Amino acid sequence: MSGLSRFAFAISACLLLLQLAACERDHPTRAANHPPQPQGERIDKLVKVGEPFTFDAATAGAKFFDPDGDALSYAITLRGATGITVDGTKLSGSLGLVGAVEVTVTATDPAGAIARTAFIIAAPAAEPGAPRLPATPYIYRDESLPLPDAYRKSSEGSAPLWDAQAPNNRTTDAGAALGRVLFFDKRLSITNTLACASCHQREHGFAAPERFSKGVIGVPLTRNTMALANTRYNIHKSWFADLRVTDIKAAVQQAITRTDELGNTLPAVERKLRATPFYAALFASAFGSPDIAADKVLLALEQYVQSLISYRTRLDQGCDAVNGFEPICDLALNPEEARGREIFLEPREDHIRCSQCHLLPDGGNIWLGNNGLDAVFTDPGVGNGRFRAASLHNIALTAPYMHDGRFATLREVIDHYDHGIHESRDLDTLLRDANGQAKKMNLSEQDKAALEAFLRALSDNEMLADPKFSDPFQ
Give the CATH number of the domain where residue 411 resides.
1.10.760.10
Structural contact between residues 329 and 341, judged by C-beta atoms closer than 8 angstroms? yes
CATH for 71: 2.60.40.10
Burial category of 328 from C-beta neighbours within 10 Å (exposed 0-12, middle 13-18, buried 19 and up) = exposed
What is the pTM (predicted TM-score) of this model?
0.92
The phi, psi pair for 432, rounded to 5°, reads -110, 150
The phi, psi pair for 424, rounded to 5°, reads -160, 165
Domain count, the chain: 3
The widest CA-to-CA distance across the chain, in whole angstroms, is 108
Domain-ending residue, one of 96, 123, 150: 123
Burial category of 372 from C-beta neighbours within 10 Å (exposed 0-12, middle 13-18, buried 19 and up) = buried
**Same domain? 304 vs 335:** no
**Same domain? 179 vs 273:** yes
**Same domain? 441 vs 405:** yes
According to the model, what pLDDT value does residue 22 have? 56
Question: Residue 337 above 70 pLDDT?
Answer: yes
State pLDDT tens for residues 43-63: 999 999 999 999 999 888 788
**Same domain? 369 vs 397:** yes
Q: What does pLDDT average to over the chain?
A: 92
According to the model, what pLDDT value does residue 174 have? 98
Q: What is the percent of the chain where pLDDT is above 70?
A: 93
**Same domain? 148 vs 285:** yes
In a domain, 12, yes or no: no
Domain that holds residue 166: 142-309
What is the Cα Rg of the chain in Å? 29
**Same domain? 253 vs 400:** no
Strand partners, 63: 39
Amino acid identity of residue 341, one-letter, is R
- pLDDT interval class at 29 (50, 70, 90): low
According to the model, what pLDDT value does residue 2 have? 53
In a domain, 470, yes or no: no
**Same domain? 417 vs 348:** yes
In a domain, 455, yes or no: yes
State pLDDT tens for residues 187-202: 999 999 999 999 999 9
- pLDDT interval class at 7 (50, 70, 90): very low
Question: Residue 23 above 80 pLDDT?
Answer: no
**Same domain? 320 vs 364:** yes
In a domain, 135, yes or no: no
Closest to 447 (Cα-Cα) out of 361, 371, 352, 349: 352
**Same domain? 349 vs 303:** no
The size of the chain, in residues, is 474
According to the model, what pLDDT value does residue 331 have? 84
**Same domain? 159 vs 57:** no
For residues 211-229, average pLDDT: 97
State pLDDT tens for residues 114-171: 999 999 999 999 999 999 999 999 999 999 999 999 999 999 999 999 999 999 999 9
Question: Residue 26 above 80 pLDDT?
Answer: no
- pLDDT interval class at 25 (50, 70, 90): low
Question: Residue 24 above 60 pLDDT?
Answer: no
- The CA distance from 296 to 286, in Å, is 9
Buried b (16+ CB within 10 A) or exposed e, 72-101: bebebebbbbebbeeeebebebebeebbbb
